[in-house]
Structure 1
Amino acid sequence: MAQFIQRFHADKSAIRDELLSGLQEPQAITSPKYLYDALGSKLFEAICELPEYYPTRTEAAIFDAHADEIAASVGRGRTLVDLGAGNCAKAARLFPVLQPAHYVPIDISVDFLRDSVDTLQQRFPAMEITALGVDFSAPFALPDHVGPAQRLFFYPGSSIGNFAPADATAFLARLAQAGDNDGGLLISVDLVKAKPLLDAAYDDALGVTASFNLNLLNHLNTVLEADFNVRGWQHVAFFNTDQSRIEMHLEAKAAQTVRWRGGQRHFAAGERIHTENSYKYTAAGFAALLERAGFTLQQSWTDPQGWFMVCHAKASGNRP
């Protein structure tokens, strides 16, 4: 029987303070997690089906082509800790080869996990499942019954790219410290490639990614009781070669003043709100980041074009 543990409880006041703090910075900024309200999550699912958005299908192809090699490298029968599990589909795809003894899907809300986990339990009745509602980007502890030995942290989707490199190192260091020296990490990362390919992946011809980004303003209106006019803004996304990252922004089409309960901000024409970064790595650069975080790369797999990489790493004992 699946167990559900909810440790994260949204603090509306803290969320409001965080958003207002970012919006009032000289360069306005919001965390990418606020892109994923109910509509934003559905729009991102649509993005994953777009021809320009290669990461989802490329990662799936790597897992399909190398499933047996991946299982041989990471070991079968592990405790599979799925970070940002969502609908659990990526982990479930690997269950037949990884054969986890205990599956621990983690997401910021257990409610989102319930239906998926219930279905998984029917498909894999012998598997122990503990669903955990926690903000895994902050320090957290796993339940006592999830022992430290044989943990395999699973972080697919190149989501590590949403962290700045220093923050990514700190986050992965916490994972290295959360298991024994046999602890493992199975992680995906998007690799540096031609700028036109990267630009198109985040600014598709149908405008789905633009809708996804612009929907943030609807979310801000709800949370902050603000009056952003979505029609007055446009989506801007590009690969910043110097920083090796995709940047997403919302740009004011004309000068305007946005008001919210207790305050306001004037935006000049062309002024932007920075909504997301997605860092891209070279294979050698990501191996070095793993090393700094206390992991040693064991094996990696890429697609034929070298666009995307899946890595297995083990905690080295050399903790930062």
Structure 2
Amino acid sequence: MSKKFLTLILTTLSLLILPGCSSNKALMKKYGDITPVTSRENSKVDGWQNYYFSKTDCNCVYGDEFYIALKETPSQSNNLMISLQGGGACWPGMIHCKPNTSEEDVLISDFTTQLDDRLTEDWNQVVIPYCDGSVFMGDTKQDYNDDDNTDHWHNGLKNSVAALKLTHKKFPNTSKIFLTGCSAGGYGTILHLRLLRELYPKAAIYVLNESGPGLLKPDNEFWEMVDASWNLSQLMPKNCDPCAGQLIYWYDDMLKDPGIKIGLYSSYMDQVIGRDFLKMTPENYKSLLVKTTDDLNAKYPDQFKRFLIKGKSHCVRNRDYQVNGIKYWDWVMAFINEKENWKDILE
């Protein structure tokens, strides 16, 4: 029996036992009727089509227009790559997030375009720009300057559902999905993975999270503040105590599905996530990163693997970087091609 056929069987069986499906259905139903109002070719990158949503349905953190971009391969393909853009976060005392979208956002597809060129099969592509300030998950309106007027719209959940529903409409027969994002985009893969499984129950899904590991400052007051700002508790998996406070553990619920694999890249002391946003010391951030990812790797050694490097860099600066003689590019290729040399790499 081939490995791919065995994976398909296991994935199908897992649908009978995978928890959280009903809650995922509810999320899709909540905003599932939103559709784009117009489309046009992207003026910055050839071959991409932008789909724009009404600002009364979907908008950015300050009320600006939201869109997603799609690129359909000329050949018939059941493969799909989705790129989630990064760009900070906003909560009380931390107003540092990408406020709007632009046509240049599609340039983040450079990585998946290079990856597509290295793979033997063709892939359809989607770019979901980031502009909600809540790592693609928020579902609130906020008045952060206390003047009794809404000044921040955290529409991450709404924008995400609308984007993926359109993606499913355009590419309904997808059987293999590669979902990736850096920084806030990496955090965004946590929710998008759940929504994608709801839309594509039989597809093999590969998640590459680059420097967005789903970590929060391990402090109850911090969690309560972020939850109050974004309304994350409505999304939290059931029967998961550590999920309140550490979003990385939300992956656990999905890794029970053998059709899902997750690769995580990070530096040990990422200064953007650890120092700038979470206000943690480098040593404490490293300890939290290693502890939480150790937990998932120990529980799902064949499905969750890491490429952790020394230093404090954020996102991937050099995909030819080597650890123990293995280039990051080669690690990614082994991951998506399900090769035996996809290993857990700790520098």
Q: Same fold (TM over 0.5)?
A: no
Q: Which has the higher contact order (CA 8 A, sep 6+)?
A: 1
Normalising by structure 2, we get a TM-score of: 0.33
Higher strand share: 1
Normalising by structure 1, we get a TM-score of: 0.35
Determine which structure has more spread, i.e. the larger CA radius of gyration: 1
